[in-house]
Structure 1
Amino acid sequence: MSLSPRPCALRPEGGVLLVIPTLNEARHIERCVRSLLTRPETGRDLRAVVVDGGSEDATRDIVMGLMAEFPALGWLDNPARLQSAGINLAVRRCARPQDEILIRCDAHSVYPEGYIGALIESMERSGASAVTVVMDAAGSNGFQRAAAWIAGTLLGNGGSAHRGSTVSRFVDHGHHAAMRLDAFRSVGGYDADFSHNEDAELDLRLTRAGHKIWLEAGLRITYIMRPDLAALARQYWRYGRGRARTLLKHRVRPRLRQIAPVLNALALVAALISALQVPQAALLLVAYGLLLLGASLVGMRRLRAPCGLWAGPAVAAMHMAWAGGFLRQILTGRAA
């Protein structure tokens, strides 16, 4: 059994590298950057870099304009396009000798004032090698509002710790926020071949190496949901594939909340096929349909708007797309 690494105390003069991976994020990047850099208040030397996978919209122009306003902000091209590869590249190219902390940010998110300083304080207080935070989903159009609401429920997230948790504690996985650079480097950084679930895959290697991950429930970020049903389904398909790749790579069993959407999808397909000869099998389809209808009606009541009716279709897309992506990857029998 390997002993848990005992991180050395962070030096007061230790620097911070903040990385924001992007790909066609013109709609969100300015709000993200401003929420992080307007008043960072870290007490440490901060360098921020947008690492871009080849945006074809106005992302570059927006960031170049922001660089004139925020001297700590820089730009780095990411030829590999994937976020995992981009963050690894930023660490190799942009981390300075004095940098001790890596902060990963999502261009789709808005961060509370004092976020960076609070992350560092949490890392120092907990003694953890990594600090994760809670994601509160949000959106502006009707579909996004409904999808955000259902994503915050047990039906939408399966009880994931970083989705709505109110209790700070050590966890096996969470939404990546801050990490000690020495810990990140010691396990080889992100798997640069992963397009999704690279965070959970890295967390698995970190915990296996004895590092501790802290969930700071008092730090909550606002995540902007995908704008429509098709985009949400594509996202969750990739989530499912990514989770399957992690399980295949490390030969671990899925947890119940991870396998539940797959079992549900398989049961529904079996019920649909057998209902032609065994009409009672259709009861499962009816039950799931009623569950979705109930989600829509509750969503409409909670949001006090007709857009809440999108909650049922949104959670169906989450369940079925995640399951489809998971099965697609498992059936290939490969972690690659």
Structure 2
Amino acid sequence: MNGQGVRIVSVIVPCRNERLHIAAFCASARAQQLPPGWALELLIADGDSDDGTRGELQRMAAADARIRQIDNPGRIVSCGLNRALAAAQGEVIVRMDVHTRYAPDYVAQCIAALERSGAAVVGGPWRAEGRAPWQRAIAAAFQSRWVAGGARSRQLDYEGEADTVYLGAWRRDTFERFGGFDEQLVRNQDDEHNLRITRGGGRVWQSARIRSLYEPRGSVKALFRQWLQYGYWKPFVMRKHGQPAALRQLVPGIFVGGQLLLTALALLGAPWALPLAWLAAYAGAVGALSLLVAADGHWALLPRLPVVIAAHHVGYGIGTLLGWWDVLRHGRGRERFTKLTR
């Protein structure tokens, strides 16, 4: 609360090289309809952008005192979030992402959900929407709880406790109790923070009233790289806490590891029927998943769905195995997996 009795909500945003998107994002953030007595500040942590993003931010900050540019020399999301947190003045902290579109009452609903639930962190469901055909197929598969292994974060009407939420909103004292984001993690820093909260006795709450729209990657190659990176950093989270946030996170790595093991055994003399049967079983599962996704109003995307689903799972699985190899070998992440994929 400032000297005039106005309560402040701090919106924190990590970004790097977002010149084409940053102005539209800032306009949407400034247009948020807040409850009476609340004011918004927008802190954007720029990770040494070299495409003109910094100039755009400086121009907007000079024109609107609510916008503040924060330097993020660490360049990755977790570092940016922590730099913005350190500068934030609000009693409520709301995280946003440049490539997501928000309902006009997004921040207001975050504040209301925190007050209503008493949870340590709240957020809305992770809803995706694409434009071009491949992006629409990626969004349709992403939105499916079947493809995501039953993750509640893809269930648009769910209200209640969850293991993680999209983006997130917190009272400031949550960070005083549970700490900030792990700067060793390029990805999965939000999952790790939510796991830390639940293991410490706090609650994670999803509200269907917190509405946003995520724009997914636009190609299979970009999708594969994204989920390769997500999978890679997951073992570092598991090593830190001695458990996964959810058992579904183990499945892609088990599939890819099983395929590699059975293929190696076949090369050593075991029947080739074993790896072929394993692969055929997965192909059948992908086909069934594709039909389930298509049946939800996406029949025109059916030829693309098996490719998208396989890229999602196989990328995550390969990344998980590479992550475990590095965790067990020396415990450090590879440089190539520190580069963001968008």
Query: TM-score, with normalisation over the residues of structure 2?
Result: 0.85
Q: 2:161 aligns with which of 166, 170, 189?
A: 170
Give the distance between the partners of 1:37 and 1:84, measured in 2 at CA.
23
Mapped contact 1:29–1:108 kept (Cα < 8 A): no
- Give the corresponding residue for 1:199: 190
Give the distance between the partners of 2:272 and 2:81, measured in 1 at CA.
53
- Give the corresponding residue for 1:324: 318
Give the distance between the partners of 2:23 and 2:302, measured in 1 at CA.
29
Q: 1:104 aligns with which of 85, 88, 95?
A: 95
Letter in 2 for 1:16: V
Letter in 1 for 2:91: E
Give the distance between the partners of 2:39 and 2:84, measured in 1 at CA.
17
CA RMSD, Structure 1 to Structure 2 (Å): 2.4
Shift of 1:253: 4.8
Please say if 1:209 is aligned against 2:169. Answer: no
Mapped contact 1:104–1:176 kept (Cα < 8 A): yes
Shift of 1:224: 0.9
Shift of 1:234: 1.4
Shift of 1:209: 2.5
Which whole-Å deviations, capped at 9, do the CAs of 1:156-184 have from their partners, x for residues lacking one? 21111211242211223222321111111
- Give the corresponding residue for 1:313: 307
- Give the corresponding residue for 1:241: 232
Structure 2, unpaired ranges of 5+: 333-342
Give the distance between the partners of 1:142 and 1:36, measured in 2 at CA.
29
Shift of 1:240: 1.1
Letter in 1 for 2:23: E
Mapped contact 2:134–2:218 kept (Cα < 8 A): yes
Mapped contact 1:242–1:326 kept (Cα < 8 A): yes
3-state DSSP of counterpart to 2:12: strand
Deviates further, 105-114 or 207-216: 207-216
Which whole-Å deviations, capped at 9, do the CAs of 1:35-54 have from their partners, x for residues lacking one? 32224324312110111112
Q: 1:42 to 1:72 in 2, by over 3 A?
A: farther
- Give the corresponding residue for 2:340: none
Identity of aligned residues (%): 29
3-state DSSP of counterpart to 2:210: strand
Letter in 1 for 2:133: G
Give the distance between the partners of 2:302 and 2:28, measured in 1 at CA.
28
Which whole-Å deviations, capped at 9, do the CAs of 1:60-80 have from their partners, x for residues lacking one? 344345446644112112100
Deviates further, 191-200 or 173-182: 173-182
1:1-336 alignment runs, 5 A limit: 13-43=6-36, 44-67=38-61, 70-92=64-86, 94-96=87-89, 99-253=90-244, 255-273=246-264, 278-281=271-274, 282-293=276-287, 295=289, 302-305=297-300, 307-332=301-326, 333=328, 336=332
Shift of 1:118: 1.1
Which whole-Å deviations, capped at 9, do the CAs of 1:275-330 have from their partners, x for residues lacking one? 6752433233233234434555666673353x542221111111111111111121
Shift of 1:116: 0.6
Letter in 2 for 1:48: L
Structure 1, unpaired ranges of 5+: 1-11
Regions of 4+ moved over 6 Å: none
Give the distance between the partners of 1:22 and 1:237, measured in 2 at CA.
21
Deviates further, 233-242 or 294-303: 294-303
Q: 1:127 to 1:300 in 2, by over 3 A?
A: closer
Give the distance between the partners of 1:73 and 1:40, measured in 2 at CA.
16
3-state DSSP of counterpart to 1:217: coil
Q: 1:311 to 1:85 in 2, by over 3 A?
A: same
Letter in 1 for 2:312: M
Deviates further, 56-65 or 191-200: 56-65
The number of residue pairs the alignment matches comes to 321
Letter in 1 for 2:7: G
- Give the corresponding residue for 1:3: none
Give the distance between the partners of 1:101 and 1:37, measured in 2 at CA.
16
Shift of 1:273: 4.6
Mapped contact 1:119–1:178 kept (Cα < 8 A): yes
Give the distance between the partners of 1:66 and 1:79, measured in 2 at CA.
21
Letter in 2 for 1:175: Y
Give the distance between the partners of 1:28 and 1:291, measured in 2 at CA.
38
Give the distance between the partners of 2:133 and 2:58, measured in 1 at CA.
32
3-state DSSP of counterpart to 1:278: coil
Shift of 1:19: 0.7
3-state DSSP of counterpart to 2:193: helix
Deviates further, 214-223 or 112-121: 214-223
Q: 1:169 to 1:297 in 2, by over 3 A?
A: closer
Q: 1:325 to 1:45 in 2, by over 3 A?
A: same
